[in-house]
Amino acid sequence: MLKNILEWYFVPKFFEKSGTAYRLLGVHKFNKLLRSYRHCVILLTQKKIIKRIHWDAHTLKEYNRLNKELEILHLFGGLFALCLTPFLPNSFIPLFFIANLIVNFYPILIQRYNRTRINRILKKQKFFRDF
C-alpha cells in the first residue's frame, strides 16, 4: 500500500511535464540562486554536491533515487514545520512560513522538476536504444 502511494506521488503529474508550472513559480531562478550559493549549502548540510559526470542511464537512475530520498526529507520537514506553526507567537508565523517555503517547498519543486527532466531523458535514451 505504502509503495503504491509513493509510486503515485513520485510519478510526474500532467501539469509538471511541460515545465510551465515550474517556470511560473520561479523554480529555475531559485535553482540558479541555490547553485550560486552551493558552498553555503554544503557547509550547512555537510553534503557533497554531485559534480558533472558522464550522465548515462545508470547514473541518472541513481540520481533519481537520491532525489526521491531528499524530496521525502524535505516533505516531512515541511509538514513538521507546518505542525509547529500553531505553537509559535503570531509575530513569528509569517517569517517561519517564508523560511519553510525556502528550506522545504522550493527544494521539493526543484527535485520534482529535475525528476521530470531526467525521466524525459531516460525515455529518449530508451527510444534510441530500441530504434
Residue-range domain boundaries for the chain: 19-130
**Which is it for the CA torsion 92, 98, 100, 102, positive or negative?**
negative
Q: What percent of the chain has pLDDT above 90? A: 34
**Measured distance CA(127)–CA(131) in Å, rounded:** 6
Statement: residue 123 has pLDDT above 90: no
Residue range 51-75, pLDDT digits in tens: 555 677 788 888 888 889 999 999 9
Cβ neighbourhood burial of 107 (10 Å; 0-12, 13-18, 19+)? buried
Residue range 3-33, pLDDT digits in tens: 888 888 888 888 888 888 888 998 888 888 8
0.75 surpassed by pTM = yes
Check residue 17 and give its pLDDT.
Answer: 82
For residue 55, count other CB atoms closer than 10 A to its CB.
12
More confident residue, 44 or 11: 11
Q: Which of 93, 89, 49 is nearest to 70 (CA)?
A: 49
Those residues whose C-beta lies under 8 Å from the C-beta of residue 104, and which sit 6 or more positions away, are: 74, 75, 77, 78, 81
**Measured distance CA(27)–CA(54) in Å, rounded:** 25
